[in-house]
Amino acid sequence: MICVTVARTRHKHTLLEHQRLADEGAKLVEIRLDYIGRSIDLTRLLKNRPTPVVVTCRRKEDGGRWDRPEEERLMLLRSAIAMGVEYVDLEEDIADKIPRYGKTKRIVSAHNFEGTPLDLGALHDSLSKHDADIVKIATLANRFEDVIRMLDLMQNASVPTIGISMGDMGTLTRILASRFGAPFTYCVYSSERRVAPGQLTFDQMKNLYQVDEINEATKIFGVIADPVAHSYSPLIHNAAFAHQGLNARYIPFRVPRSELADFLRWGEAYGIGGLSVTIPHKESIIEFIHQAESAAKEIGAVNTVIFANMETVGYNTDYRAAMDCLTEAMAKQSTAPQPFKDKGVLMLGAGGVTRAIGYGLARRGAKVLISSRTQERSEALAQEIGGKALPWASRYDVKPDIIVNGSPLGMFPDIDSTPYDGKKLEEHQIVFDTVYNPEQTMLVKAARGTGCTVITGLQMFIRQAAYQYRLFTGKEPPVDVMMKTLQRAISPLNYRDQKSDDDAEDASTEAKQENEGQS
């Protein structure tokens, strides 16, 4: 079950958001009394509540906003219990001061916004002793090991336990809570309303991850990176799973470089089905997997890992997708059996995607030039793939048949930048920009205007994801669904302020109160 936290400064907006959540299907709502800036009217907040509630009033030292007398806080919590609320959240030091009454269930909680204690078991035992129906422990995850320990705690607890690893490293503790025995998990209505690090929104929990439908049979996949919150892969893979009715979820895993081997061992033991791999792990992961396809070995990078028969197998779908895109584009210009042979290629950038594409083109007989803003990297990569390095300032001195941008120039939010002056383009050229957000980069627009054959980053991104999907599921991917999902996600409309009038008014009120030290 999903519990949505409502933390608003005014009664009116608390009630409106509560009703809105009920209308959208929320089954449980946490009311944060400590956020309300005025004298609190419990009857107004609770009498006609549209869903069951958890009542919480958190002190500042516990990560909340309550700064009024402690006795007033205790009285509010006792009064909420007397009114028959479904749950009340109590910190350990006050749990014995507020006795059980009626049918209200007691959540005895502890929060640590700095780290995760080494002995979580001792903390859990201590909280359990205070007549707890549910134990809640929320701690900041500074390492992925902290997340693993929290999952183990939930799974092995004798008292129903909600274990939350705060921060984006602990996202899976929120999404997979029910798989590890938690009675419910927390989220917020919108990203602007987060009250703890790493909280997801109700829309993400309900629609993207479909948390309430996750069960023991749900197959888990994901993307590993550091950072990972920016990844669009969960959107497109979960949309594809849902479209085909598969009991599977795709989750973001933030894994520091130093913990990659430990994560893979955990993933194998837990039964992860497969992973997308991105920065900074594409190269380093090779030494920790059992085997890799020949192309991935030669490129020196893996972007997909499959767990099968107690082994991990690595693939490079970036390479496959890019070659498919380029082969289709070249077919419009040449019917030769070796269309890339002796073609001049200018690769802009010297990162992982340039490595994969440059490798493929060089193996097909193209003459590859690597040009990046760091000459040393260009020279190193050129030597590895059998190409030549070209100084960044000299990139206009050649007239290539194919131009590939593997640099981040032109990527959101720096959408007015371009790695190549559009006035230098020629109609006969193939222009391939691997940037997919936005799809219509400055380089792509210039190339289309010149009459070049164009390959967008969106085309490549969806192709590589489609290859991954086949490896994950053994099924043909719903490419149209994946493409439309990504296009919606990167639409400029998503960057506009969509707040309603009451949200804007509330935000203004909260800002004023914070400035005055009242909230």
Are 100 and 207 within one domain?
yes
Give the CATH number, domain containing residue 451: 3.40.50.720
Are 356 and 211 within one domain?
no
Residue 136 known to be catalytic: yes
Are 294 and 402 within one domain?
no
Q: What are 170-192's pLDDT values in tens digits?
A: 999 999 999 999 999 999 998 88
Examine residue 514 and state whether it is found in any structural domain, yes or no. Answer: no
Are 299 and 343 within one domain?
no
* DSSP strand pairing (402-405 vs 344-348): parallel
The residue annotated as part of the active site, out of 226, 318, 324, 401, is 318
For the whole model, what pTM was predicted?
A: 0.88
- CA 345 to CA 265: how far, in whole Å? 40
- CA 215 to CA 463: how far, in whole Å? 30
pLDDT > 70 fraction of the chain, expressed in percent and rounded: 95
Of 200, 216, 232, which closes a domain? 216
Are 434 and 481 within one domain?
no
Spell out the residues 6+ positions from residue 514 whose beta carbon is closer than 8 angstroms to its own. Answer: none
Domain that holds residue 155: 2-216
Are 163 and 206 within one domain?
yes
pLDDT of residue 195: 81
| Vertex 487 angle, CA 484 and 489, to 5° | 110
Residue 131 known to be catalytic: no
Per-residue pLDDT of the chain (519 residues; tens, 9 = 90+): 999 999 999 999 999 999 999 999 999 999 999 999 889 999 999 999 999 999 999 999 999 999 999 999 999 999 999 999 999 999 999 999 999 999 999 999 999 999 999 999 999 999 999 999 999 999 999 999 999 999 999 999 999 999 999 999 999 999 999 999 999 999 999 888 778 788 999 999 999 999 999 999 999 999 999 999 889 999 999 999 999 999 999 999 999 999 999 999 999 999 999 999 998 999 999 999 999 999 999 999 999 999 988 899 999 999 999 999 999 999 988 888 899 999 999 999 998 899 999 999 999 999 999 999 999 999 999 999 999 999 999 999 999 999 999 999 999 899 999 999 999 999 999 999 999 999 999 999 999 999 999 999 999 999 999 999 999 999 999 999 999 999 999 874 443 433 344 444 444 433 333 333 332
The residue annotated as part of the active site, out of 13, 18, 124, 136, is 136
- CA 459 to CA 487: how far, in whole Å? 11
Q: What are 74-111's pLDDT values in tens digits?
A: 999 999 999 999 999 999 999 999 999 999 999 999 99
Structure tokens at 256: 């520091």
The residue annotated as part of the active site, out of 281, 282, 343, 367, is 282
Which strand ranges, in their side-by-side order, compose the sheet holding 134-140? 161-166, 134-140, 105-112, 87-91, 53-56, 28-32, 2-6, 185-188
Residue 447: count of CB within 10 angstroms of its CB: 25
Are 134 and 258 within one domain?
no
Residue 281 known to be catalytic: no
Residue 111 known to be catalytic: yes
pLDDT of residue 27: 97
Q: How many domains does the chain have?
A: 3
* DSSP strand pairing (87-91 vs 274-277): unpaired
The residue annotated as part of the active site, out of 18, 34, 62, 111, is 111
Are 295 and 279 within one domain?
yes
Coarse DSSP helix, strand, coil percentages of the chain, rounded to the nearest 5 percent = 45, 20, 35
Helix residue ranges per DSSP H, 300-440: 317-331, 352-363, 375-385
Question: Could you say which DSSP state residue 365 is in?
Answer: T
